[in-house]
Structure 1
Amino acid sequence: MRRLSPSLLVWLVLVWVSLWGTLDVTTVVFGVLVALGVLVFFPLPVHRWNIFGHPLRLASLTLYVVWDLVLSAVRLAWDEFRHGSSVKAAIVAVPVLSDVDHVIASASNVLSLGPGRFVLQIDRANRIWYVYALGVRSRLACDKIHDDALDLQVRVIHAFGAPDEARTVRERAEEAKRRRARAVDDGTPRETEAP
């Protein structure tokens, strides 16, 4: 029998409790049973991924996400108040900085938590996220979404990624920002405005 990952078990129970929205004994017990069932009947490929391997980086990512949720909600509410039904949106192409599927999925899920934006599509072949964002009225706002998505990936890779990937991710993010700036100077289209 394969060994069950305690960190993945804890993560699945936390997701279960979050989905139900209540923290009581019954919810936790059923969460443990469902998580055990998932891990036994639908085993994941074996890999070394310990979500609690870097607790300080994980805490930093958590604080960043909470702060980003608050700021995104305030920004979206302010835009709705100012512009009403004429809130504009855009789809912004953002380079994917990781080669590891569970890190890419984690980063896209964290990005999609914020109100008013989500990862619309992940193009694995070309290593691009397509991020849909509300409240975009200028090229500068598109550039901010692009750079914020890169910064978020850096944080997620630092928290969950392999050490060799975490060492080089900041340089790759900065290079992607420089490429974006050069594309702006060249007039290369990068985003599509939505109605």
Structure 2
Amino acid sequence: MTGPSGTDRSAAGAPPAGRGRFGRRRDQAIALGWLVVVWNLLWGDFNWANLFGGLLVGGAVLVFFPLPAVSFGGRLRLRALVVFAVRFAVELVSASLHVARIAVQPGYRPRGAIIGVRLRLNTDLNLALTAEAVSLVPGTLILEVDRNSGTLYLHVLDTHRPADLEAARERTLALERRIVRAVGSEAELRRVDTGHSERGTRP
């Protein structure tokens, strides 16, 4: 049926493809899985107690504080997921050692900075996953997320030269790229891999 403006009203009111009851259940299961992972990362230890606690807390969050509907249109790539996990673990160890060195170095005063990084994809899922992963790395803190432009505003520890700011932007964009390669769609993968995508914005 076509409305006065010439648009297809039935198409406009129809839910997106794959957004039936199964699609909603699938998205809730994915959200619960990520909440469990975040819960264990916050505790710093993967064990049965934290797994059970994460399921309880994640289930309570989804029931009492329902998240906006975010459809997962990508697919899981096991090899890319392993690469992401290994690289992320290396970054965690490296950043932790760097922050520890700053803490024990006598007379050293680190200089922080706030930068804006515009991601290549401004979908809610990509913003949430990238922001969460960035905030888990010691020395970086998410201050604000601009949903409309897909920009993350970060506080970065120990920056003394413009090259340090550029390196922080590159690390954030590289992290986004690894996340999309692990769980993104083919179209999203092409966008993050293309050389014509916009780079991080300067503060």
Report TM bin, short chain. Answer: 0.7 to 0.9
* Residue identity (%): 26
2:129 aligned with 1:101, yes or no? no
Give the direction of change, closer, same or farther, for the CA distance of 1:14–1:94 in structure 2 (3 Å limit): closer
Q: What one-letter code is carried by the residue in structure 2 that aligns with 1:109?
A: E
1:57 Cα deviation from its structure 2 partner = 1.1
CA contact (8 A) 1:103 1:160 kept: no
Question: Secondary structure of the equivalent of 2:128?
Answer: helix
Alignment of 1:4-43 (within 5 A): 4-5=25-26, 6-19=29-42, 21=45, 23-24=47-48, 28-29=51-52, 31-39=54-62, 42=66
User: 1:144 matched to which residue of 2?
Assistant: 167
User: 1:186 matched to which residue of 2?
Assistant: none
Alignment of 1:113-192 (within 5 A): 113-171=136-194, 175-176=198-199, 190-191=202-203
Per-residue Cα deviation, 1:54-102 (whole angstroms, up to 9, x for no partner) = 1111111111111111111122233344464521101112112112111
TM-score under structure 1 normalisation? 0.73
1:143 Cα deviation from its structure 2 partner = 1.3
| Match among 45, 57, 75 for residue 69 of structure 2 | 45
2:133 aligned with 1:110, yes or no? yes
Write the distance in 2 (CA, Å) between the matches of 1:27 and 1:124.
31
Bigger Rg, which one: 2
> After the TM superposition, which of the residue ranges 12-21 and 84-93 deviates more from structure 2?
12-21
1:154 Cα deviation from its structure 2 partner = 1.2
User: 2:12 matched to which residue of 1?
Assistant: none
Structure 2 alignment gaps of length 5 or more: 1-19
CA contact (8 A) 1:107 1:156 kept: yes
User: 1:58 matched to which residue of 2?
Assistant: 81
Write the distance in 1 (CA, Å) between the matches of 2:70 and 2:148.
23
> After the TM superposition, which of the residue ranges 101-110 and 41-50 deviates more from structure 2?
41-50
CA contact (8 A) 2:191 2:197 kept: no
1:15 Cα deviation from its structure 2 partner = 3.8
1:115 Cα deviation from its structure 2 partner = 0.7
1:49 Cα deviation from its structure 2 partner = 4.8
Write the distance in 1 (CA, Å) between the matches of 2:70 and 2:149.
26
CA contact (8 A) 1:87 1:134 kept: yes
CA contact (8 A) 1:151 1:173 kept: no
Structure number with the higher helix fraction is 1
TM-score under structure 2 normalisation? 0.71
CA contact (8 A) 1:80 1:87 kept: no
